[in-house]
Amino acid sequence: MRQEIEFVKCDPTQNMTVLVSSEHPSESRSFIAARLMSYDHVHAEQVGFIGAAHSPQAAASLHMAGGEFCGNACMALAAWIASRQELSPGGALELSFDSSGAAQAVACRVRRSDNRYICRVAMPPPRTIERRTFTYEEEQLEAVLVSYEQSFHLILEVELLDEAVRRKAMALARLLGMAPGSKLVGMMLYRRQTNELEPLIYVPALDSLVWERGCGSGTASLGAYLSWSRGQAIAAPIKQPGGVIHVYADCSNGDAMSIAIEGSVGIVAQGRAFIELESLEQGQAQLCMAAGGERQG
């Protein structure tokens, strides 16, 4: 027998995102996400689960498979809601929704442009921004740590985006992902000369390590860093492998940070996916055993 999964697949700056619209127990989300993300299935970089709103002003809720906050998934949900409401070309929509990893409802403005949606999302501000020195294989790495409630991004300024740098970033992401309570670790490789960002995202709960084509939350963290380091508000287009995400940030006053990102979202597929129940049950059992082992340790 098979479990049916209703989904929509979105393209926010080629950061392929699957949103699951059918209801599933929270304990099965990690395994469902892992299957949907795999090459031999729907194939995506991340998975979120749509649910009923928790707060009166919200249109829906979004829970990422790893419990993290994701700016691109928020834009994907906003585009999906706009499409369901049959927003006409040139039309705009203001909405908000609840999201994992965000203490308050997330506000978003959606504008339809032909068959795509231009979304601007107000991002949760970081708790802290600080310069840090990390030791990795006897090498000193200067980086900026942008911390949130249950996740953090490391911004590494580099001159070249080569394989040696990428391998170092992947190893460091896994190492930092071992820290208690970390739901997401982002390694943001930034080339100041060309305003390019190459984002690596590690979600420990899924053991998912992905070089993303475009990263909304990483773009927000980079914008926060640029504003904080310059002591003024900034507005900048950040080039990424999948396109451009715009960031608007004012973190010059640590007590009143303001960050928003804007990008283009396309809806590329919608339908039903299937997961074998036997595989689902085995996956849940493995997750339970892993959790039990962690508690015993």
Model confidence at 288, pLDDT cuts 50, 70, 90, reads: low
Q: CA-based Rg of the chain, rounded to a whole angstrom? A: 19
The pLDDT, as a whole number, for residue 283 is: 57
Q: Which of 70, 74, 119, 251 is catalytic?
A: 70
50, containing H or E segment: strand 46-51
User: Residue 281's pLDDT is what?
Assistant: 61
Instruction: Read off the DSSP letter of residue 28.
Output: G
Mean pLDDT of 105-110: 95
CA–CA dist 8, 21 (Å, integer): 8
pLDDT at 266: 97
Is residue 189 within 8 A of residue 161, CB to CB? The reply is yes
Please tell me the distance from the alpha carbon of residue 235 to that of residue 251, in angstroms, as a whole number: 12
Which domains, ranges and CATH numbers included, belong to the chain? 2-122+266-291 (3.10.310.10), 128-261 (3.10.310.10)
pLDDT of 136 reads 76
Q: What is the pTM of this model?
A: 0.87
Region 196-224: mean pLDDT is 94
Catalytic residue among 10, 108, 119, 215: 215
pLDDT bin (cut points 50, 70, 90) of residue 256 is: confident
CA neighbours within 13 Å on the CB side: how many for 22?
Answer: 15
Tell me, yes or no, if 215 is annotated catalytic.
yes
The 10s digit of each residue's pLDDT in 234-250 is 999 999 999 999 999 99
Question: Does residue 280 register a pLDDT over 70?
Answer: no
- Rounded CA gap, 45 and 210, in Å? 7
State the average pLDDT over residues 183-199.
94
Question: Considering the chain, what percentage of its residues have pLDDT values greater than 70?
Answer: 92
Q: How would you label 82-91 residue by residue, b for 16+ Cβ within 10 Å and e otherwise?
A: bbeeebeeee
Q: Please write the tens of the pLDDT for every residue from 114-134.
A: 899 999 999 999 999 999 998
Our answer to whether residue 10 is catalytic in this structure is no
Average pLDDT of span 39-53: 95
Strands 208-211 and 243-250: unpaired
Tokens matching residue 92: 């705009």
| 264 vs 281: CA distance, rounded Å | 37
pLDDT confidence tier of residue 162, bands split at 50, 70 and 90: confident
- Cα-to-chain-centroid distance, residue 233: 23
**Per-residue model confidence as pLDDT tens digits over 81-95:** 999 999 999 999 999
Angle between helix axes 29-37 and 277-296 (nearest 10 degrees) is 120
Whole-number average pLDDT of the chain:
90
